Amino acid sequence: MALSGLDIFKLLPRTNCGDCGVPTCMAFAMKLAQKKAELGECPHASDEAKDSLGAASEPPIRLIKIGGANALEIGNETVMFRHDKTFFHQTGIAIELLTSEDIGDLKKKIEEIENYRVERVGEELFIDLFFIRHNTDKKDNFLETIHAAQNFSSKGLILDCPSIETLKKGLEICKDNRPAIYLREAATNQDFELAKTFNASLILFADSLESLETQSEKAREVGFSDLILNLKSRNLGLQLQDNTILRRSALRNNFKPFGFPLFSYIRGATVYESLAEASVLLCKYDSIIVLPEYSKALLYALFTLRQNIYTDPQKPIQVDPKIYPIGDPTPDSPVFVTTNFSLTYFMVSGEIENSGISSHLVIADVEGQSVLTAWAAGKFVGETVAKFIKDIGLEDLVKTRKIVIPGFVSQISGDLEESLPGWEVIVGPQEASDIPSFVKNVQLT
Residue type, 15: T
Model confidence at 73: pLDDT above 60: yes
The pLDDT value given to residue 363: 95
pLDDT of residue 2: 56
What is the signed CA dihedral for 342, 343, 347, 352, rounded to 10 degrees?
Answer: -20
Query: ∠ CA(352), CA(358), CA(363), 5° rounding?
Result: 60
Which pLDDT belongs to residue 1? Answer: 42
Q: What is the DSSP string of 212-281?
A: HHHHHHHHHHTT---EEEEE--SSHHHHHHHHHHHHHHHHTS--GGG-S-BEEE---SSHHHHHHHHHHH
Q: Span 355-359, mean pLDDT?
A: 92
Q: What is the pLDDT, as a whole number, of residue 4? A: 73
> pLDDT tens across 214-262, in order?
999 999 999 999 999 999 998 999 999 999 999 999 998 889 999 999 9
pLDDT at 54: 60
Q: How many CA atoms lie within 13 A of 42 on its CB side?
A: 32
Which range is least confidently modeled, 75-89, 161-175, 178-192, 288-302? Answer: 75-89
Contact indicator for 160, 130 with CB cutoff of 8 Å? no
- Give tens-digit pLDDT for 186-213: 999 999 999 999 999 999 999 999 999 9
With 60 as the cut, is the pLDDT of residue 165 above it?
Answer: yes
* Distance from chain centroid for Cα 143: 30
Range from 47-56, 265-274, 433-442 carrying the lowest mean pLDDT: 47-56
What pLDDT digit, counting tens, does each position of 11-35 carry? 788 888 988 888 888 888 888 777 6
Q: Give residue 27's pLDDT.
A: 86
Average of per-residue pLDDT across 106-131: 91
Integer angstrom CA distances of residue 207 from 20, 215, 238, 246: 39, 12, 11, 13
How much is the pTM?
0.76
Angle value at C-alpha 161, between 160 and 162, nearest 5 degrees: 125
Tell me what the mean pLDDT of segment 403-415 comes to: 93
Better-predicted residue by pLDDT, 192 or 86? 192
Give residue 52's pLDDT band: very low, low, confident or very high (50, 70, 90). low
Over the chain, what is the mean pLDDT? 90
CB 44 within 8 A of CB 17: yes
Could you give the angle at the alpha carbon of 196 between the alpha carbons of 138 and 150, nearest 5°? 45
Mean pLDDT for the stretch of residues 130-136:
94
96: helix, strand or coil: strand
- Predicted local confidence at residue 56, as pLDDT: 58
Q: What integer pLDDT is reported at residue 35 of this predicted model? A: 67
Domains of the chain with CATH codes: 5-57 (1.10.15.40), 64-309 (3.20.20.20), 323-441 (3.40.50.11600)
pLDDT tens across 268-302, in order?
Answer: 889 999 999 999 999 999 999 999 999 999 999 99
pLDDT at 88: 86
Question: pLDDT digit string (tens) for 316-351?
Answer: 788 889 999 999 999 999 999 999 998 899 999 999
Alpha carbon of residue 113 to chain centroid: 18
Rounded to an integer, the average pLDDT of 62-67 is 93
Rounded mean pLDDT, 57-72: 87
Q: At what angle do helices 103-115 and 139-152 cross, to 10 degrees?
A: 30
